[in-house]
Structures are given as structure tokens and as C-alpha cells.
Amino acid sequence: MTALLKLLRSAPFSARLGMGMVLITLLAAILAPAIAPYGETAVTGDVWLPASSSHWVGTDNLGRDLFSRLLFGARNTIAIAFLITALSFGVGTVWGFLAATVGGWIDQLLSRGVDILMAFPTLIFALMVLSVVGTSIPALVVVIALLDSTRVFRLSRAVAMDIAVMEYVEAARLRGEGLWWLMRHEILPNAMPPLVAEFGLRFCFVFLFIAALSFLGLGIQPPTADWGSMVRENAGAITFGIYTPLWPAGAIAFLTVGVNLIVDWFLHVASGLED
């Protein structure tokens, strides 16, 4: 814990900035019900009002308070994207580690299977599956997580391959340790830095991906506030010189940039530790 604090204190400006950005977003998400002036779906005024004292950043395409929607959107966007990413990492790393640790035909089977899955564009695949199972949030979470886990599989397999040849893993094998121990105690802790970094990046990808799905009508369904859908719902206004959609898009960029800044620093630190 103290080591973590020390690490945080040694962070460069860019990383601190990133942490600040993520922290603000998280606070907004957590405190949304307390600080939002209006409800998530309450229609409170005319459509696309400019910023004013009653609507800090104006209203959206249905006359809902954009600021409140941004706060609730943070909640939904982060929660859903986090859930998806966590699930995809859960699945991807277990299979990836398994493939790397066991090797042989199991590795071949898993890798080729993932290759086939990856050869089909993710978006199309998601479209197909979602158009079958419907676009409820649980379905969205499971489908995207499983599709995304192919990429996690690749990374965790590659990382675990490097670790599995280390002598401390060999030592554990020679001791007679089982597969689960090897994966859980020998490989996982050492695979954490690249995986954590990838987690940040995939997290960003996930909510951009949800935004893309929303664009095609298969993402998070209205009236749930989610930044991607908010951009989509309001995007038509841009060409009329109304810049409302810039806010949710800005929020997405804000969080993405924040996460990326932290990830950059984290990767830097992690690579430094290896030296």
C-alpha cells in the first residue's frame, strides 16, 4: 500500500493529470444522483437549448438536461464498459494462460479457434449475435466481452509464453505444482503490468465500440444515458451549428485521454521495473 502511494507520488505531471481526469469522471459517476440537477430521463425544457443558469451545458435532442445526462452517462458508460472489460479479461486471461502454460494441442486448438473468430470483423459478429439475442444490457455485456476476450487471449497468451519459460516457473513445475497454481501464483502476478495497461486501453475501446453499436442501433438503448448514444442522438445537430454533441464526445475523449495518460506512465514504470 505504501509502495503504491510512493509510486503515485513519483508520477509525472502527465500521469497526475490523467489520474485527475479519471478521478473527476469517477466522482461524477458515483455522485451523479446527488449532484445532477435533474433526473436521467426527465424532459425539462425545449430541445437543444443553449447553456444557461438552469441548464449548465444546455439541453439535448429531447429537451433533457445535458449536464445531468452527462453525469448519469458517466455512471452507465463506466459501469458497463468496466463490466465488459473485466469479463473479457477474466475469460481471455484464463484461456490465454492455459494455452501458454499447457501448450501442445490445447494451445493449437484455442489459438486457431481464436484466429477464426478474429477473422470475422468484430462489429459484424456483434451485429449478428445482438440482432438475435436482443440488445438488453446483459446481452451487450456478454457478447462484447466474449468478442473482446479473443484479443485479451492473444495478449495474455503472448505474455504468459514469455513468463512460462522463466526459471521460477520451471522451478515450480519441478516442484510438482499443478496448472492452477502455475497460472495463479507464478504467471498472473508477473503478467499484471501489460495486462493492466491493456485493460485501460481495452476499456476505452469498449465504450467506443458500444458507441459504434449504438450508432447502428444495437448498443445501449434509449432512454438510458450513455455517452456513445448521446453523441449519436445529438450528432445531427452539429451541421446546424449546434455544438451540444461536443459535450458527450468531449466526455468520451476526456476519459480516454485520462486513461491513456495513466497507461502510458504505467507502461513506462513497468518497463523500468524489468530493467
Partner 1 sequence: MNNPLLEMKDIVIEGLTGDAWAPIINSLDLTLRKGEVLGLIGESGAGKSTLGLAAMGYARQGCRIASGAIVFDGQELLGAPASQLRLIRGARIAYVAQSAAASFNPAHRLIRQYAEGPVQHGLMSAAEAEENAVTTYRQLLLPDPENIGYRFPHQVSGGQLQRAMMAMAMSCRPDIIIFDEPTTALDVTTQIEVLAAIREITRRFDTAAIYITHDLAVVAQLADRIMVLRNGDLVEENDAGEILAHPREPYTRDLLAVRSFRKRESDAALKKEVILKVEGLTASYTGENNVLEDIDVSVHRGRTVALVGESGSGKSTLARVITGLLPAVNGRVVFNGDVLPAALKHRKREDLRRLQMIYQMPDTALNPRQKIRKIIGRPLKFYFNASRRQQEARILELLEQVELPADYIDRYPTELSGGEKQRICIARALVAKPDLIICDEVTSALDQLVAEGILKLLLNLQRQLQVSYLFITHDLATVKAIADEIVVMLAGRIVEKGPKKEILTPPHHAYTHRLLACVPEMDPNWLDRLLEKRPAA
Partner 2 sequence: MGDLRPDFVGIEALPGDLAEAVLGQSATPETVAAFRKELKLDLPPHVRYVAWLGAFVRGDFGNSLANRRPVADLISWRFANSLLLAGVTALIAVPVAVILGILAALYRNTVFDRLISMATLSTISFPEFFVAYILIALLSVRVALFPSIANINADMTLGQKLYAICLPCLTLAMVVTAHMMRQTRAAIINILASPFIEMANLKGLRRLRVVVLHAFPNALSPVINVIALNLAYLVVGVVIVEVVFVYPGLGQLLVDSVSKRDIPVVQASGLIFAATYVMLNLLADVLSIVSNPRLRNPR
Partner 3 sequence: MSRLKSLEQVLSAGNLSRRAFIAYASAMGLAAAVSPMAFPSKANAEGPKRGGRLRLGLNGGATSDTLDPGIQLAMMPQVLVYGALANSLVEIDADGRPAPELAERWESTPDAKKWIFYLRKGVEFHNGKTMDADDVIDSINWHLKPGTKSAAKALVESIVSMKKEDKYTLAFELKSGNADFPFTLSDYHLVVGPQGTDLSTGVFTGGYKIKTFEPGVRAFAVRNPNYFKSDRAWFDEVEILGINDVNARTNALKTGQIDVMNRCDLKTVHLFKRMPGIQVMRQDGFKHFTFAMRTDMAPYDNNDVRLALKYAVDREQMVKTILRGYGRVGNDHPISVANRYHAGDLPQRQYDPDKARFHLKKAGLDGATFKLHAAEAAFKGAVDAGVLYREQAAKAGITIDVVREPNDGYWSNVWMKKPWCAVFWGGRPTEDMMFSTAYAKGAAWNDTFWDHPRFNELLVSARAELDEDKRRAMYGEMQRIVRDDGGVVVPMFSADLAAASDTIGHGKLAANWELDGFRAPERWWFKS
Query: Which residues of the shown chain bind partner 2 in the complex (CB under 8 A)?
Result: 116-125, 127-129, 131-132, 204, 208, 211-212, 215-216, 228, 231-232, 235-236, 238-239, 245, 249, 252-253, 256-257, 260
Q: Decide: 25 and 79 in contact? Cβ < 8 Å.
A: no
Where in 24-83 is the site for partner 3 (CB under 8 A)?
Answer: 41, 43, 47-48, 61-62
Q: Considering only residues 42, 117, 177, 268, which one is a binding residue for partner 1 as defined by CB under 8 A?
A: 177
Task: Output 43 or 127, the one with its CB closest to partner 2.
Answer: 127
How close are the terminal C-alpha atoms of the chain, in Å? 23
- The Cα 49–Cα 67 span in angstroms is 12
**212 forms part of the interface with partner 3 (CB under 8 A):** no
Q: Considering only residues 173, 196, 243, 250, which one is a binding residue for partner 1 as defined by CB under 8 A?
A: 173
Using DSSP's 3-state secondary structure scheme, residue 65 falls into strand
Q: What is the DSSP string of 200-232?
A: HHHHHHHHHHHHHHHHTT-SSPTTS--HHHHHH
Q: Which does 4 bind (CB under 5 to 8 A by kind): partner 3, partner 1, partner 2, none?
A: none
Span near partner 3 by CB under 8 A; candidates 88-96, 186-194, 239-247, 263-271: 239-247
C-alpha grid cell, residue 154 = 492473444
Task: Output 26 or 62, the one with its CB closest to partner 3.
Answer: 62
Q: Which of 75, 4, 72 is nearest to 37 (CA)?
A: 72
Query: Long-range contacts made by residues 58-63, C-beta under 8 angstroms, separation at least 24?
Result: 58/244, 58/247, 59/244, 60/230, 60/233, 60/234, 60/244, 61/233, 61/234, 61/236, 61/237, 61/244
Q: Which does 260 bind (CB under 5 to 8 A by kind): partner 3, partner 2, partner 1, none?
A: partner 2
Using DSSP's 3-state secondary structure scheme, residue 193 falls into helix
Q: Please state the closest distance from residue 129 (CB atom) to partner 2, in A.
A: 8
Span near partner 3 by CB under 8 A; candidates 6-14, 92-100, 132-140, 169-177: 132-140
Using DSSP's 3-state secondary structure scheme, residue 141 falls into helix
Q: Which residues bind partner 1 (CB under 8 A)?
A: 6, 10, 166-171, 173-177, 185-186, 189-190, 192, 273
